[in-house]
Amino acid sequence: MRNVTTLIEQMTLEEKAGLCSGDNFWRTKGVERLGIPAINLSDGPHGLRAQGEEQDHLGVNESKPATCFPTAAGLASSWSVDLLEQLGAALGDEAQAEGLHVVLGPGANIKRSPLCGRNFEYFSEDPLLSSHLAAAHIRGTQSRGVGSSLKHFAANNQEHRRMSVDARIDERTLREIYLASFEHAVKEAQPWTVMCAYNRVNGEYCSEHRRLLTDILRDEWGFEGFVVSDWAAVNERVPGLVAGMELEMPASGGERDAQIVAAVREGQLDEAVLDQAVARLLTVFFRAVDARLEDAGFDAEAHHQLARRIARESMVLLQNDGTLPLANEQRVAVIGEFAERPRYQGGGSSHVNATRVEPLLEALETRGASFDYTKGFEIDRDAPDQQLEQDAATAASHADVAVLCLGLPDRHESEGYDRTHLDLPANQLALIEAVTAAQPNTVVVLANGAPIVMPWAGRVSAILEGYLGGQAVGAAVADLLYGEVSPGGKLAETFPQRLEDNPVHLNFPGEGDVVRYGEGIFVGYRYHDTHDVAPLFPFGHGLSYSHFDYANLTLSADTFNGDDQLTVSLDITNSGEREASEIVQLYLSDQTQTVPVAAQALRGFDRVTLAPGATERVEMTLSRRDFCWYDAERADWRLPTGSFEIRVGASSRDIRLTQCLEVRGDKTPLPAIDRNTLLGDLKAHDGAVRILREHLADIAEELPMLNDLMGRGGGDDLMDAMGHYLPLRAMISFSGFTEARLEALLKDLRATASAD
């Protein structure tokens, strides 16, 4: 057992400072004379990007072959913590085989806008779904003795000016949406490291944001590992160290190490701060090295088949008039270059050198399907080609059904820049027109990392959202097209009808280096459902080749006060003729309107697989936090009092069962008391009402605006409104109330507030 404290005492100041930055792009420094090891890190949310000695960050030098699994956009559509854990374990096995100690991922940033170029690498617009899937990913990887690096903390929701942009977010929104997407993953899965983001949050760079990295991440959430910078995210090294950012990556050429040393020697940095950082680093370094397996390996073919299974359980059947599944005897026209050159992963730092790639054409040949292939369009250009379109239309007209393989080319979405629109390329739009005019039975298979608009949806028979399905994408698509399995994925994000329907449209990507999160908590379906803006396809939507019935919703209690958990139970029956999966979604609707809230918010989910005719009792639990809103003024989560509606359904727009619940919430605290406090803000507090009635009894008769406060029903809406919004000081103007009496009233109200 190594004594970290003793080791730190034996280290020179230069050695300690040097431990806080990388040795090269992917490896940390070690201290050989003391037996302190270096560790190796690698990109890898959906597949490793391990490089040899010729290392770089953006993939100029090719990485070693690794399994390329579906990206997070698709993974999230599985809504399966079991699948995410299996994927994480597979990544851990491959990392062990390559001598890697930490895998950079998963990415838990919220999909604030569908334009974000890196959305393919993030899970969801909903923080509960995102954080639970991230936790499962981390558990899987770390079960193999390999660390995860949860990223990018925090509010890294766009690529435009990502290294300088300042995300201006109010505290309630930050807590309920953007931090909540990380919180459960940190608390439940304890990633070995957390990666801080490039951007600023409310004026401070994340790499030196003490409130994020220490006050919240460590002190509130109990994070035990170390914080690593995103590559080149460090602004000022010494303030970053003080804030809680222990490891700078990549190597700084000794420049930053010298800054730390100078700060200690000049008395600007307490050496104890450096020692604490080194202790955190050493703890993880030794854990990683001790977990290293000798002669580790992995079964590449088994991982390829795992990638296939994950992909087919993640793809979403958006639309189907009965054309799918296809029958083996049907003659199929397969159209689109993606069928032979699939887009199966995103661009940028997560690019994987796949062990092998299985296109749709290869998969169809393997299964002996009856099909003809035409190119239809060229991936590498956007301009329409009339000859290719005519060839495709002719092929479609001679087939029973056409399968169009469409999507976004690599250059349309990537790390480093955001999209500017939600359209397919012009040549693909022209192809849709040509093929649907020739063949009414047309199926569209999409390869994209984020939503697109579909003005053509009404012209096609079925739409299968394949997202970026990993190296086995072709086999997975074939499995679904021909009904080897029933589609079971559901959208983890809203597909808007138009870009303008997205709630952040007017606030994205900001002005200069400032982006204001003016939509507040109303992100994704929270906006669409609250403001009744119809989406193209709603959050949680996904079709099946089977049918499911929901029945017998029960609650474990009729009232809830936050002390215990509430169990929500219901029966799900597969009323179709084939085995299939259903993703049951639980939403809470806060009817109290204590503060502005979304019409509903996801608070639970479960994926169940049922044989035809089978019924399963599904149980989901709710805790106090699920009912709370964040009170920024008091820096705490508040449980409101009043009615909630429990809603269970197949999507946010397909609610099948509802039940009301009464919540007995927290005592309403008094606001800050001064002469400008409004009467209406005091009426929810019984003690304050008693004091007000005592002090105002003699003037209430002459002020009808006080009738509601005094418990006298007057029925005068104007007077009631005036009384509700009346500052305490204004009573002097409307009556014989004096400054002295006002001061006495304020004193008694403050005493009541203190007593609480």
Residues annotated as part of the active site? 230
Closest CA to 708 of 281, 56, 602, 696: 696
Closest CA to 303 of 495, 88, 45, 465: 88
Phi, psi values for residue 585, rounded to 5°: -120, 135
Q: What three-state secondary structure class fits 636? A: strand
The strand ranges marked E within 185-330 are: 193-196, 200-201, 204-205, 226-229, 316-320
CB 421 within 8 A of CB 408: no
Torsion-angle region of 238 (φ positive above 0: left; ψ -120 to 50: alpha; else: beta): alpha
Rg (CA), the chain: 29
Burial of 520 (0-12, 13-18, 19+ CB in 10 A): middle
Spatial separation of the C-alpha atoms in residues 86 and 92, rounded to whole Å: 10
Closest CA to 524 of 553, 555, 557, 491: 491
The pair of structure tokens assigned to 494 is 């809203």
Helix, strand counts (H, E) of the chain: 22, 25
Closest CA to 154 of 100, 198, 101: 198
Spatial separation of the C-alpha atoms in residues 211 and 171, rounded to whole Å: 12
Per-residue DSSP letters for 393-407? HHHHHTSSEEEEEEE
Spatial separation of the C-alpha atoms in residues 487 and 325, rounded to whole Å: 10
Residue found by looking up tokens 């979604």 in the block? 585
Spatial separation of the C-alpha atoms in residues 527 and 533, rounded to whole Å: 8
Spatial separation of the C-alpha atoms in residues 640 and 665, rounded to whole Å: 5
The pair of structure tokens assigned to 672 is 């800050």
